[in-house]
Structures are given as C-alpha cells and as structure tokens.
Structure 1
Amino acid sequence: MSSEESVRLTAGDVELTVDPANGCRISSFRVGGTELLRQGPHYGSFPMVPWCGRTENGRFLNGGVPHQLPVNSPPHAIHGTGRDVAWRMAREASGPSTAVFTYELGDPWPYDGLVTQTFELTEDSLTLQLGVETYDVSFPAQAGWHPWFQRNAFPGGKDVQIDFTADWQEERGPDHLPTGRRIAPIPGPWDDCFGMEDGVDVTLTWPEQLELTVKSRSEWVVVYDEEAEAVCVEPQSGPPNGLNTHPRLVTPIDPLEMAATWSWRRLAQDRT
C-alpha cells in the first residue's frame, strides 16, 4: 500500500497515489489505466490550506492584528502552506482504499493548529476532506483543492469539456483578485471564481471516454483553463482573498471542515 515516498490506494481498476512528502498531493489518479492528472512535482492535485488562491499582498488581519505571509506569487501570497510541507500518515485510520494524513500548522503561518486530510476511494468516486483545528487562539482560514486535470487524457481522444451553471461570477480585477462585485458568468477562458448557491457542481467530459463531476457543499469554485496542458476545477471554502473579505474563524470549539467528491462514469462502456 505505501512506501516512504508515496501511498497508493486502490478500488477495482482505480488507483490513487498520494505523496505526503510533497504537500500531501495526489500525484497520480488512474481510472482503467488512464492518468487523469497532469504529471510533475508541482501538479497532480494539491490541498490549499490554510488559505485558497491569492491573499492580497500576502497580508491579512485577525481582528486588529496584522500578519504578513510570504509573497510567493508577487505581489500576492498564493494557495496556502500545506502544499509545501511534509504530512504524516495516520496509519491506524488508513487502509487499502482510505488514508488519513495530518500536519501541524506553524511558521510561516502565524498560528498553531492541526490540519487533517482524508481520502476515501471507491470504484466510481473519491471523497476528499480537510479539517483545520486550533489549539488555542482563533484565526481565519480557508481550505480547498487544486487539481490539474489533463486536457487531453486519452490517446487520440478529444479535449476535455467543462460544464457548469453558476449563480454568479466574482468580477476579477487587474490584480487577479475579486473586486467584491458579483457579475453574470461570462465565457472563458477563465482564471475566475464562481458562486453556486446549492453547492459546487462542475462536470468534466472527455468525449466518448469519461465523465467526471466535482461536487461540494461549499458554494465557491475557481475554474482555471488558460493553459494548454490542463484544466483546474478548485472547490474551496471561500473566494480568493477570503482571509480579508470573507473571514471564516477557526475556534477551539468550531473547526473548519471542507469536503469535496469526484465521481465518474465511463462513456466508452456506455456505448457497448
């Protein structure tokens, strides 16, 4: 099931490989032998925690206390710190198709706490969960996932198609941050945040091969399809720069919990 470098989960002919040493990202996701994620140490699918997307100039307030985060995507701080650290596997809670990992919050994040990530794999779904707890001091946080799905995953196949119906789009300013104004959704290409009042529901279809749906009870999703190799559908607990604009406090009695599910069906089988 695992090595020092990776943890492999299986369910039927579905294989999921998690790399806890590299930010606890999914480094490989294969359905029927076909790799659906862009490969490489910075790709796959990584957790965004304790914030998602860009935080303006790397700065946020906790009440009246200002904090400065490392500016790793100038002029902003992007995608949290969880993808940059090694996580530990909770072996007593893991099995052939389930795995649980944790890491301790700390520098450069200014507060102590615990982050837990859970993977549950079946033959036709993957359930992801993130939890953020504090030991003492309350702080704002966000959680989500940043998968890089291959635009063309099947040899000789067509490019993936993205289908969703959003209730609104966060207007994107020249600094790539939401302006605070909600607009009617506009056509792509996108590097944009959308709102779905009934929860995230986005379908990716590789024509005649596979249909994969990303769902979450959260109402926020970023869709990014500006690169030739991959598309990203990122369910998250708040919008970009949400530490400042939509702070969700993690308290000793109220942890942040975020979940998402990928489910799929094979279109090639449906034709037989």
Structure 2
Amino acid sequence: MSNTDITLTAGDAEVTVRPENGGRVSGLRVGGVELLRQGDRYGCFPMVPWCGRIRDGRFRNGATVHRMPLNAPPNAIHGTARDTAWRTARASEDEAVITYDLGEPWPYPGRVTQVITLGADSLTLAMAVETYESSFPAQIGWHPWFNRTLGGTNAADTADAADVRIDFTPAWQEERGADHLPTGRRIDPEPGPWDDCFGMPGGVDVTLTWPGRLELKVASREEWVVVYDEPREAVCVEPQTGPPDGLNSHPRLVTPLEPLEATTTWTWRRL
C-alpha cells in the first residue's frame, strides 16, 4: 500500500497518521478540537529503537560499541524512526498498521510495526520491534506534543482558555545531570517545570486536564515516563520502555525468539 496520510474516525474523534513523516500521529481531534501541536516536527512521533538521549551517541551490545549520529550534540536523541518514511501495511476506518525496517545508521536489521487504533473515547498505540538475525538492545516510546491550551472556534475562546494541568504520582524521579541525562540516582519527585524521567512501577498513569474542556489519561504498562512541560505552546508525556540512555543503563534485548513490545492508551472525557 502507499504511505500517504491516513485518516481514522470513531464517534466524534478523528486521527491523522502520516507514515511518510516518521510514522507519526500528526493530529487528534475530539469534537473538532485539535489536541496535538501542529507542525512537521510535532504531533506524536514514535521513539525507536531508542528513547531520549544516548550519552555521546554510544551504546554497547556485548563487547561491541556502536555510535549513533549526534543529532543533539553531544548526544544522539529519540531514535531513527521519526526521520524516515514508514510503509502502510493496512488501514481501515478506525485502525492503521504501519511498518519500518531498521537500517543505517542503526547497525542491526529488524522490523518495527506500529498499530494505531481509534475508539470513540480512546486512542491506542502499540509498537513491536522484531529481528530474525542478531540480537540487540532497543527501546520503544512515544513523544506526543499536547497543546497547552485548547482553543475554541473564536478568538475569545482561545484567549480565555486555561493551561493544561498535569497530575501524576511517580515513585521516583531520575536525577538529571547538567547534560540532561540521568545520573543513576533516584530522588523524590520535584515540582516542575520538567524535562525529566519518572518511575511508575505500577504502570504509567498521567492525567492531563484542560479545565472546563477535556480530561485525557495517558496510560501504559511500562514503568517509565518523561514529562516535558518547559515549552510555552505544548506539554509532552512520553511513556517508554526505559529511561534516557537506557540502551546502556537498562538494556532490553530484542532476540529472534522475543520481540520488544509496548502499548500506550489515551482515554478522554468531556468536562
């Protein structure tokens, strides 16, 4: 199938998927209101085969050291999948399946499959990394940019819109060094603004509330979430299978017998 834009619909929800632009969900509209920041770099992009930064772009697989391009000098950031075109495997009214074959600069062959499923009040994103050759460490995550405010249909509604509130109860916060990478120490969660990774051993559970408009819950069985709310226009809640630099600190091996799989579900309700 082609890799042109895909539109999914369910109830009054509508999602746009852009396989050719990094396999990202470029839009999520509920009742005609856009929840995601617009632009080629935004929406919600998949982070794979790693999440966040790799220190100095270097990671080890057994005795072999690899180095990724330093696209956020002095580090490598957010994987390779967001920078390439994905292929559409199939699409229906409310579900799309897209794939991406790992290749240069990533040193190991493998396939990434992402399934995007829209319900009337939910969006589920599922991803798997599999290989039939060499085993390698990998991570899976998603990087949504949620609009800080939800504008209405006129300028007055937009001007009066309140900022989103982020509510969650992490067990710990990864101490962040000056290089924006975890130091390896776990500390008590600190107040924001954040560009930080948190641990939620019972699974990611973060609620975004746009007062008087909408409540949206980001959930995942994974125990790591990065919250980034420093930008003026948007906030990011990023469930992932390990912390930044996790290829080195918390490696999860993809093997011919065991793929790496992860899922996140967003559910919403009107207020």
TM-score, structure 2 normalization: 0.96
Kindly indicate whether the alpha-carbon contact (under 8 Å) linking 2:167 and 2:208 is maintained by their aligned counterparts in 1.
yes
1:3 is displaced (CA, Å) by 7.7
Separation (CA, whole Å) in 2 of partners of 1:147 and 1:219: 17
Alignment counterpart, residue 183 of structure 1, candidates 180, 187, 191: 187
Deviations, residues 134-156 of structure 1 (Å, cap 9, x unaligned): 12100000001000000012323
Separation (CA, whole Å) in 2 of partners of 1:246 and 1:84: 24
Alignment counterpart, residue 139 of structure 2, candidates 131, 142, 149: 142
Separation (CA, whole Å) in 2 of partners of 1:246 and 1:224: 21
Q: How does 1:238-249 map to 2 (within 5 A)?
A: 238-249=242-253
Separation (CA, whole Å) in 1 of partners of 2:11 and 2:201: 34
Separation (CA, whole Å) in 2 of partners of 1:136 and 1:3: 27
Kindly indicate whether the alpha-carbon contact (under 8 Å) linking 2:2 and 2:88 is maintained by their aligned counterparts in 1.
no
Separation (CA, whole Å) in 1 of partners of 2:27 and 2:185: 37
Runs of 4+ in 1 over 4 A off after TM superposition: none
Alignment counterpart, residue 160 of structure 1, candidates 153, 161, 164: 164
Separation (CA, whole Å) in 2 of partners of 1:23 and 1:89: 12
Separation (CA, whole Å) in 2 of partners of 1:139 and 1:191: 28
1:114 is displaced (CA, Å) by 0.4
The code of the aligned residue for 1:55 comes to I
TM-score, structure 1 normalization: 0.96
SS in 2 for 1:26: strand
RMSD (Å) for aligned C-alpha atoms: 1.0
Q: Which residue of 1 aligns with 2:210?
A: 206
Separation (CA, whole Å) in 2 of partners of 1:32 and 1:149: 16
Separation (CA, whole Å) in 2 of partners of 1:79 and 1:104: 16
Q: Which runs of 5+ in 2 are unaligned?
A: 152-157
Corresponding position: 1:6 with 2:5? yes
Q: Which residue of 2 aligns with 1:270?
A: none
Kindly indicate whether the alpha-carbon contact (under 8 Å) linking 2:3 and 2:88 is maintained by their aligned counterparts in 1.
no
Separation (CA, whole Å) in 1 of partners of 2:150 and 2:24: 19
Q: How does 1:94-243 map to 2 (within 5 A)?
A: 94-154=91-151, 155=158, 156-243=160-247
Deviations, residues 83-111 of structure 1 (Å, cap 9, x unaligned): 001001112xx310011000100100000
Q: Which residue of 1 aligns with 2:21?
A: 22
The alignment covers a number of residue pairs equal to: 264
Separation (CA, whole Å) in 2 of partners of 1:245 and 1:239: 8
Q: Which residue of 1 aligns with 2:43?
A: 44
Kindly indicate whether the alpha-carbon contact (under 8 Å) linking 2:3 and 2:86 is maintained by their aligned counterparts in 1.
no
Separation (CA, whole Å) in 2 of partners of 1:77 and 1:174: 16
1:5 is displaced (CA, Å) by 3.0
Q: Which residue of 1 aligns with 2:72?
A: 73
Identity across the alignment (%): 67
Separation (CA, whole Å) in 2 of partners of 1:86 and 1:137: 24
Separation (CA, whole Å) in 2 of partners of 1:171 and 1:52: 17
Deviations, residues 55-107 of structure 1 (Å, cap 9, x unaligned): 0010000001000100000000000000001001112xx31001100010010
1:13 is displaced (CA, Å) by 1.0
Kindly indicate whether the alpha-carbon contact (under 8 Å) linking 2:118 and 2:124 is maintained by their aligned counterparts in 1.
yes
Q: Which runs of 5+ in 1 are unaligned?
A: 268-272
Separation (CA, whole Å) in 2 of partners of 1:85 and 1:62: 24
